[in-house]
Chain A
C-alpha cells in the first residue's frame, strides 16, 4: 500500500522486481542506478551473498519529482530469486504497489519462470493481493542472447507461458545492455500511479 502523507504532500510507492534466480532483477536496478545517478540521493543497498546473489533485497529509492502537487518517491526493491529464499521473498513483498516480473528468455529457464510466477501468485495472497489485480509489467530479459548460441525462447512462447492469463504489458529487454530497462520502469511507475490516483489526486 502506497504511503500517502497528505500533510506534507508526499507519496511513497513500492515497486518490487520479482522473478527466478539469475533472471536479471539486480542488473535492472544497477542499470537504473547508473543511468539516474543525479536523481538518486542515496546509495543502492544490496544485501547479497559473496557470489553476488541477492540474499535479502536490493533497494533503490528514487525521486520522480512533483505529480499534481505531490512529491513522489519510488522505492525499488528486488527479491532474492533462489528457490530456497521464499520466506525472504514474502517479506520483501509486504506493502508492494507494483510488480515487474523479470523472466529469463533462456530455454533452460522455462520451468523456473513459470514456477516463480505461480509462487508469486501464492505469496501475494498472504497480503490479500491478487496477481490479476495489481499493477504488473512482464519483462522478457536477456534478449541479447538471441544473438548468441545459447538457446532462447521466442516472445510468443514467453507470452503463452506467462502472460496468456494475466495479459499485462510485456517488454523484451536486456538489463545487461540497458535495452528497455527504463521503459519497463516508466511503464510500471505510470501504471502504479494510475492505480493510486483515486486515493490522492
Chain B
C-alpha cells in the first residue's frame, strides 16, 4: 500500500483536527502488518508505538480469525476498556486500521462518532490519490 505526500498530509489533518482536537489522547493509523502510517498524540503520553502497533495488528488478526471460526465475516470494531484509558480499534478498509486511545473525559459515543467521520474522510482521501 502506497500513500503520496498529499494524501498523508490530508490524513494527518483529519486526525489532528477531528480526533485529537476533539479530546482523543492518541491516534495511530496503521496497516494490517502493524506498520504505522500516521500517529498523533496530545503530548500527554509516551508510548512505545512500534510495539503497540505490532501488538494491535496481532490482536486484530486474532479477533478476525475468531470471527471466521464463529461464522462471522468480521468484527469491524473492537473496544478495550481500562480504568483510566480505553482503546478503540476500527477497520478503515481491508488494509488499514485506526486506533484511538482516550480517557474518561470523552464519551465512547462521541469517540465512535468522531472515528466514523474520520474513517469516511480518510477513505475519501485514499480513493482521490
* Contact between chains at A88 and B61 (CB < 8 Å): no
Chain A residues contacting B32 (CB-CB under 8 Å) are: 49-50, 55
* Contact between chains at A87 and B54 (CB < 8 Å): yes
Docked complex: B57-97 residues within 8 A CB-CB of A: 57-59, 61-62, 65, 95
Docked complex: A79-114 residues within 8 A CB-CB of B: 80, 84-88, 91
B55 at the interface (CB under 8 A from A): yes
Taking A45-B65, A47-B65 as contacts, is the C-beta distance between A53 and B33 under 8 angstroms?
A: yes
* Contact between chains at B51 and A47 (CB < 8 Å): no
Taking A49-B32, A49-B33 as contacts, is the C-beta distance between A87 and B62 under 8 angstroms?
A: no
* Contact between chains at A87 and B55 (CB < 8 Å): yes
Cβ contacts B40-60/A at 8 Å (1 or 0 each)? 000000001011101101110
Chain A residues contacting B52 (CB-CB under 8 Å) are: 87
A86 to B54, CA, bound (A): 8
A136 at the interface (CB under 8 A from B): no
Taking A49-B32, A50-B32 as contacts, is the C-beta distance between A85 and B65 under 8 angstroms?
A: no
Docked complex: A23-67 residues within 8 A CB-CB of B: 45, 47-50, 53, 55-56
A130 to B59, CA, bound (A): 28
* Contact between chains at B65 and A55 (CB < 8 Å): no
* Contact between chains at A85 and B61 (CB < 8 Å): no
Interface SS, B side: helix
A146, chain B: closest CB distance, angstroms: 32
Chain B residues contacting A86 (CB-CB under 8 Å) are: 51, 54
A-B contact count (CB 8 A): 43
A175 to B64, CA, bound (A): 28
Q: Which of A48, A49, A53, A91 contacts B55 (CB 8 A)?
A: A91
Chain A residues contacting B33 (CB-CB under 8 Å) are: 49-50, 53, 55
A45 to B62, CA, bound (A): 9
Chain A residues contacting B57 (CB-CB under 8 Å) are: 55-56
* Contact between chains at A84 and B58 (CB < 8 Å): no
Chain B residues contacting A55 (CB-CB under 8 Å) are: 32-34, 57-58, 61
* Contact between chains at A88 and B50 (CB < 8 Å): no
Chain A residues contacting B54 (CB-CB under 8 Å) are: 84-88
Chain B residues contacting A53 (CB-CB under 8 Å) are: 33
* Contact between chains at A88 and B55 (CB < 8 Å): yes
* Contact between chains at B50 and A84 (CB < 8 Å): yes
A49 to B97, CA, bound (A): 13
* Contact between chains at B51 and A56 (CB < 8 Å): no
Chain A residues contacting B51 (CB-CB under 8 Å) are: 86-87
B28, chain A: closest CB distance, angstroms: 14
B95, chain A: closest CB distance, angstroms: 8
B91, chain A: closest CB distance, angstroms: 14
A interface residues, Cβ below 8 angstroms from B: 45, 47-50, 53, 55-56, 80, 84-88, 91
Query: Could you list 8 examples of A-B contacts with CB < 8 Å?
Result: A55-B34, A56-B57, A84-B35, A84-B54, A86-B51, A87-B51, A88-B55, A88-B58
The 8 closest A-B pairs by CB, nearest first: A56-B58, A87-B51, A47-B61, A49-B33, A88-B58, A85-B54, A55-B61, A87-B55
